[in-house]
Structure 1
Amino acid sequence: MVNTRSEGSGTVPDPVAAQLAAIASSFESLKADVAALKHQSDQSKGKGPGNHCGEDGESSWNNNRHFRPYNKIDFPTFNGGDPRGWVLKAEKYFRYYQIPEEEQVDVASMHLEGDALDLFSWLSTDQPIQFWDELVHAFQRNFGPAEFQNPDEHLCSVRQTGSVQEYRQEFAKRSSRVTNWPDHCLLGVFLNGLKDEFKADVRIHKPQTVYKAMSLALENESKMTAARSGRSSGWNSGVKTHPNTMTSQTSVPTQSNQNATKPIPRLTETEKQNRYLRGECFRCGDKYGPGHRCKVGTFKLLEAENEGEEPVVVTEEEPKAQEAIGSRD
């Protein structure tokens, strides 16, 4: 401050000095206002001290939510079924946008469809639903699990009947209804419900949490599926080649049998004599003469491949015997 009065004198204050003092005071006040604005700006940007901490920090964070339009959240729609998931999302929506309690039922009712909307309309006819807890209770009573069903017993009875992913979803659904269950109890129930083909492989790794056991079960299922598909493809490739080989092997004698002539029974001595008198060959029955060659000369080789029939053995001495008979006569 500028001293406007001389020491030991009673002179009148200088007007210029008074103006300077007023300007200095205004400047100090302006500095304080700028510091306060800067502090408030730092808090809104998440840089100031005490952000999100304590009641003042939480209030400042909530009051600045409307400055973030990119965080727009849509209210969930409910059309029936288990209402637990919908209730959880709706309550988070109410907290995020600070919806007053007297407006929560109106906001929720605008997002009801199907059976849920029909139930709300029917209940509102007799007595309007004014509070959120009343609406939640009505939906749980009409769409939730049966009241006589014990959640703890329902969880203990869970068993894997399909894939590991389906079992994991069912386990999570049932475990969400129980409270105060220790982690090691949840782990034991999950392992006990696995199929035998996965149970031993998961237990050998000694998982400490349910989430680790779920991960091991999914990994084991993937390995088993890959191994089965590999064995299946290898078996199919063998089947494709094997019948073709057998067909090619059996087709030759089949075609040969069709072209082969039915064998002639062995002749008795009387029949041989009669053929000789008629000038016929003992083997084929055709007219016999010098240089004669039977048409069924290869019959002996073909008949050796037919199973179940006794092959006819034809010796090479028969034509010579026929010549001997002719020369003897």
Structure 2
Amino acid sequence: MGTHKERLERLEYDLQDVREGQMRVVAESADTRVQIRGLEERMQEVLAALNGLRTIHSHAERGSSSRQPSSRNEGSSNTGGSRFIKMDFPRFAGDDPTEWLSRAMQYFEYQELADDQRVAVASFHLEGEANQWWQWLKRVQRDEGIVITWEVFERELWCRFGPTEFESFDEALSRVKQTGTLRDYQRDFERLANKVVGWPQSALIGTFLGGLKDEIADEVRMSKPRTLREAISVARMKDEQITRRRKQLRTEPVRPTPARFMAAAPPTSVPTATKQVVGSPIKRLLWDEMQRRRERGLCFNCNERFTPGHRCKTPQLFLIENAATTDEEECTNQPRNEPVMNKLEWEEAEEQAEITLHAFSSWKGPQTMKLLAQVEKQPVTVLVDSGSSHNFISERVARLLRLPVTTTDGFTVRIADGGQLSCHEKHEEVPLEVQGFKFKIILFALPLQGLDIVLGIQWLESLGPVLCDWRNLTMRFSWEGESRLLRGQCHSTTKEISVQSLHKESHGGGALFALTMKRRDQDMDQATLPFDIKELLDEFTLLFDEPRSLPPARDVDHRIPLKEGVTAVNVRPYRYAHFQKSEIEKQVAEMLKTGIIRPSQSPFSSPVLLVKKKDGSWRFCTDYRALNEVTIKDRFPIPTRRHD
């Protein structure tokens, strides 16, 4: 019985294996059928595409055969055959269905494809996510018994990859604004305008103007465009004009920019002309000018020759003096039909007027008052400065205000460092309105930076007695029989500026001051030292004296334990540039001279390299990496406390 039982169990196991094998075969056959079905569908698509291409080819042959007589009559001209040129059907991966459907329709219309061929050709050019969607759509539509026509295909494609109903192109078009360039704004506007329906031409023009920047939109409105194309054309011309004007202003060496005047700077007060040191303003040199100065060996900031350790002579003040004329010129000059300078002006010209550091550089200082005023309805910043003896205006600001110019002779501007500037322009009867009070003043034009107008003693003397409260920034005087009060602006607190902001301000011009701490490396006279300190220094002279040689020799100066079996580490030197090689030889010679190093015949060698420091000098470094690899590192046990 036991034997029969074992046989039955063995037969059951074999039968189970046979059943499992049959199940695997059935599963594999099902997978094979699915693969075959997929291949059949793919072959059908390929056949449909081939039929479409065959149809296109037949159309081309019929068109060329029908146009052969005309081409023969016209000689070498081939007017008809150019219609059926080679065109690539656009591929679609799921990005923008609007553009792809538009190009597909152009292709179908040009190639005259029938509706039943459009789906096959279009689906053949789907990629990635779009191709996976097509496989799913085809399976679902086949199960539901729906034939996929071009209308169905277009509707399903738009629903899958097009925008949702929540996104409104009409709302997006009405809100589009120009935040960057005009070209970017035009691209966004045309993209949205292409997707809206029912907008009249006037609405498109109004929306386009509403999104433009004000400086461009105002110019377009004045032209009263009738079509959107005309409005875009005028806007582009205005944008090019603005861009060209900005480039011209950036290339001009005199600042500030026309958008705003540079803030005027604080001066000194009280009717006593004081001379102060004026910092040199930042100059923005053109590349050609920089190259010429470099070739001549001149400093970029001044006209002196540049040498190591060169320091520019900072201008301390501006002086206006009467130009010296020869006796011969005085005799031969004929009277001119120009207004003669009054007594005050001649006195001012003779006394060599000054302009202070605060007025020149916009630097905040004591006893200064800054006011907001208007000239020809244009806002300017005025600085009341009793340390300046004349009224000054920046040449740049004067040109922007288009003030009438009176040519004067005999005035030069002498800078305290020896340089000279010419002053040949004077602006008379300039209407200045300060806090509701109107004055007529005379201004001398100079190429100043960092200020708009400076009112000096020339203006203060015309006011009579003036009571100034510099702490509260008020100035009280009598004008036209009434007491007047002017209030100055509070000084802004000094804030830290970033590199980006400093670079931005440099485009408009300004003044830069550098304050440095100079270290006094003077040896203290030992005679003035206390006796006990001097005695201590004499006792330990070897410790306090500056080392000029190596330390005293010992039995073992220095020991570098190497790993067992390691030969001498000998690394060849690096390849250096010529100037680095010269610097290495120079430093080696100096170290040999001072005794820091000495000639060695050791078989060990390590290469050296130079590392540039912040001050421009070179640091002598030795590359011991190869030696460190074979060196036994020092290990010192850390004592621990035992707890019994």
TM-score, normalised to structure 1, is 0.53
Residue 152 (str. 1) matches residue 137 (str. 2) = no
| Residues 111 and 185 of structure 1: CA distance in aligned 2, closer, same or farther (over 3 Å) | same
Query: What SS class does the counterpart of residue 248 from structure 1 fall into?
Result: coil
Look up the match of 2:121.
107
Q: CA deviation at 1:154?
A: 2.4
Q: In the alignment, residue 230 of structure 1 is paired with which amino acid?
A: Q
CA distance in 2, matches of 1:240, 1:91: 58
Contact 2:84 2:111 in 1 (8 A): no
Look up the match of 1:137.
155
Query: What SS class does the counterpart of residue 154 from structure 2 fall into?
Result: helix
Q: Deviations over 1:208-245 (max 9, x none)?
A: 11111111111111121121122222248971469713
CA distance in 1, matches of 2:122, 2:214: 46
CA distance in 1, matches of 2:192, 2:314: 62
Contact 2:141 2:148 in 1 (8 A): no
| Residues 41 and 211 of structure 1: CA distance in aligned 2, closer, same or farther (over 3 Å) | closer
| Residues 41 and 144 of structure 1: CA distance in aligned 2, closer, same or farther (over 3 Å) | closer
Q: CA deviation at 1:115?
A: 2.4
CA distance in 2, matches of 1:166, 1:84: 20
Q: In the alignment, residue 127 of structure 1 is paired with which amino acid?
A: Q
Look up the match of 2:250.
232
Contact 1:105 1:135 in 2 (8 A): yes
> Identical aligned pairs, as a percentage?
33
Look up the match of 1:121.
135
| Residues 131 and 236 of structure 1: CA distance in aligned 2, closer, same or farther (over 3 Å) | farther
Match of 1:212 among 201, 225, 230: 230
Query: What SS class does the counterpart of residue 216 from structure 1 fall into?
Result: helix
Counterparts of 1:139-288 in structure 2 under 5 Å? 139-235=157-253, 239-240=283-284, 244-245=301-302, 248-250=312-314
Q: CA deviation at 1:191?
A: 0.6
| Residues 43 and 202 of structure 1: CA distance in aligned 2, closer, same or farther (over 3 Å) | farther
Look up the match of 1:297.
none
Counting strand residues as a fraction of each chain, which structure ranks higher? 2
Query: What SS class does the counterpart of residue 148 from structure 2 fall into?
Result: coil
Q: Deviations over 1:256-281 (max 9, x none)?
A: xx9xxxxxxxxxxxxxxxxxxxxxxx
| Residues 41 and 217 of structure 1: CA distance in aligned 2, closer, same or farther (over 3 Å) | closer
Q: Deviations over 1:89-143 (max 9, x none)?
A: 2112112222121111110011112322222223223225621122211221122
Contact 1:82 1:140 in 2 (8 A): no
Q: CA deviation at 1:206?
A: 1.4
Q: In the alignment, residue 189 of structure 1 is paired with which amino acid?
A: T
Query: What SS class does the counterpart of residue 167 from structure 2 fall into?
Result: coil
CA distance in 2, matches of 1:186, 1:201: 17
CA distance in 1, matches of 2:253, 2:124: 59
| Residues 223 and 93 of structure 1: CA distance in aligned 2, closer, same or farther (over 3 Å) | same
Look up the match of 1:303.
none
CA distance in 1, matches of 2:148, 2:70: 35
Q: CA deviation at 1:192?
A: 0.8
Count residues in correspondence.
201
Residue 85 (str. 1) matches residue 99 (str. 2) = yes
CA distance in 1, matches of 2:121, 2:254: 61
Gaps of 5+ in 2: 1-65, 74-78, 256-281, 286-298, 304-310, 316-416, 418-518, 520-644
| Residues 162 and 240 of structure 1: CA distance in aligned 2, closer, same or farther (over 3 Å) | closer
Counterparts of 1:20-99 in structure 2 under 5 Å? 67-68=81-82, 71-99=85-113
Contact 1:82 1:145 in 2 (8 A): no
Query: What SS class does the counterpart of residue 134 from structure 2 fall into?
Result: helix
| Residues 78 and 41 of structure 1: CA distance in aligned 2, closer, same or farther (over 3 Å) | closer
Query: What SS class does the counterpart of residue 312 from structure 2 fall into?
Result: helix
Q: Deviations over 1:131-168 (max 9, x none)?
A: 11222112211222221223322221221122111111
Counterparts of 1:298-309 in structure 2 under 5 Å? none
Counting helix residues as a fraction of each chain, which structure ranks higher? 1
Q: Which has the larger radius of gyration?
A: 1
Q: Deviations over 1:191-216 (max 9, x none)?
A: 11111121111111111111111111
Query: What SS class does the counterpart of residue 125 from structure 1 fall into?
Result: helix
CA distance in 1, matches of 2:164, 2:247: 42
| Residues 213 and 125 of structure 1: CA distance in aligned 2, closer, same or farther (over 3 Å) | same
Contact 1:78 1:86 in 2 (8 A): yes
CA distance in 1, matches of 2:201, 2:138: 43
Q: CA deviation at 1:183?
A: 1.0
Q: In the alignment, residue 215 of structure 1 is paired with which amino acid?
A: S
Query: What SS class does the counterpart of residue 239 from structure 1 fall into?
Result: coil
Q: In the alignment, residue 239 of structure 1 is paired with which amino acid?
A: K
More displaced, 142-151 or 97-106? 142-151
TM-score, normalised to structure 2, is 0.28
Counterparts of 1:305-320 in structure 2 under 5 Å? none
Q: CA deviation at 1:70?
A: 5.6
Q: Deviations over 1:52-82 (max 9, x none)?
A: xxxxxxxxxxxx97x5476222211212222
| Residues 234 and 150 of structure 1: CA distance in aligned 2, closer, same or farther (over 3 Å) | same
| Residues 151 and 196 of structure 1: CA distance in aligned 2, closer, same or farther (over 3 Å) | same
CA distance in 2, matches of 1:41, 1:196: 57
Q: CA deviation at 1:43?
A: 9.1
CA distance in 2, matches of 1:80, 1:161: 29
Contact 1:102 1:130 in 2 (8 A): no
CA distance in 2, matches of 1:43, 1:83: 43
Q: In the alignment, residue 248 of structure 2 is paired with which amino acid?
A: G
Cα RMSD of the aligned pairs, angstroms, is: 3.7
